[in-house]
Amino acid sequence: MRTVIISPPACEPVLLDEFKDHLRLDGSDEDAPLGALISSARNLVENYLNLYLVDRTLALYLDKWPLQDGLGTSSHSIPWWSGTASGALSLLDRAASSIVLPLRPVSDISSINMIAPDGTETLWSADNYQLRPGLSPLIALQSGRRWPAAGRTVDGIKITLISGFGSSWNAVPASLRQATLMLASHLYANRGDTSANSSSYSAIAASGAAGLLAPYRERRL
């Protein structure tokens, strides 16, 4: 499984003027490096939470459809496990009626295509499936439908989707915007000190943003 960004986010979750007001900075001499700090903070937050803040369009490539158990979680509790499963054919057929997407949040599936060995793409009709959007997104088969065969051994399935809370900064939850602002401010205060920002965990902890981000962290049982 791999992802490719087709269209990057149109904006950052924190406005440049908002960041400058927070830092009490005037003028435009530092606009470029300040914008880079906002982008860095957003990337750290997204990596820490394993989600995207502002909408972007991505292509998710699969080699095959993952087989899931009847509870909607993947076999052996590994999200994108591929291997051998045993059981009655009817049970296995029901078990694979939905797949959990590894990206979040997801608001829309633009298309699902099967890719042939020569690179030709064949659209799989949206009438075959439905999306459960949000922070726990999944694709579910419509009644009586089956997953199509992958067009080739590697990257034979292409799912084009939109992931993020919305297309503009004000669609991002306020707590995530505030956490990004706090983290960007921490990066500004410690610019040039690589030891202070060696990882998303250390920088987020030092910035005080961890508490705001906690409700959005994935919980694994």
**Residues, the chain, total?**
221
Cα–Cα distance, 106 to 77 (Å, whole number): 21
Higher pLDDT, 92 or 213: 213
Name 95's Cβ contacts closer than 8 Å, sequence gap at least 6. Answer: 67, 68, 69, 70, 85, 87
Give the closest residue to 158 by CA, choosing from 28, 39, 55, 60: 60
Token pair, residue 45, equals: 């937050």
Give the closest residue to 102 by CA, choosing from 61, 42, 69, 70: 61
Residues 47-81: tens digit of each pLDDT: 999 999 999 999 999 999 876 444 444 433 334 44
Token pair, residue 121, equals: 């793409």
Rounded to the nearest 5 percent, the helix, strand and coil shares of the chain are: 35, 20, 45
Q: Of the ranges 30-44, 70-84, 149-163, which one carries the lowest mean pLDDT score?
A: 70-84
Token pair, residue 135, equals: 């922070």
Alpha-carbon separation of residue 29 from 25, 33, 176 (angstroms): 10, 9, 27
Higher pLDDT, 71 or 99: 99
Residue 169 banded pLDDT, cuts 50, 70, 90: very high
Which pLDDT belongs to residue 90? Answer: 46
Q: Give domain limits for the chain.
A: 11-50+168-215, 56-163
Give the closest residue to 85 by CA, choosing from 66, 58, 103: 66
Token pair, residue 178, equals: 């505030």
Cα–Cα distance, 45 to 167 (Å, whole number): 17
16 burial via Cβ count (<10 Å: 0-12, 13-18, 19+):
middle
Token pair, residue 140, equals: 């579910």
Name 199's Cβ contacts closer than 8 Å, sequence gap at least 6. Answer: none
